[in-house]
Structure 1
């Protein structure tokens, strides 16, 4: 599995003003933790051994 480095603190510092949100100092550690977890999940998905020629669609919910 290839692990890519993701700098959550730098991403947060860059993106918050780009999307116009204020991040309070007391929130930053928790947000960075969530971004770190999201990066770990993305790394797992990106490195999943999936046949590039397969297309397995997920089931969809249809109420009766």
Structure 2
């Protein structure tokens, strides 16, 4: 199972967003926001995968 919960993308994305705001670079700011969304999607996908795996284990126990 992958250990990537999207946290790295969220952190790097936030840093890019802040950098873009400070420098006035709208493109960099948008890249940061997009990377944060990517991290959130990875986190949600991991949660769904874990829920499915947990449900399969419950079904096998029945």
Q: TM-score, with normalisation over the residues of structure 2? A: 0.44
Q: Which has the higher helix share?
A: 2
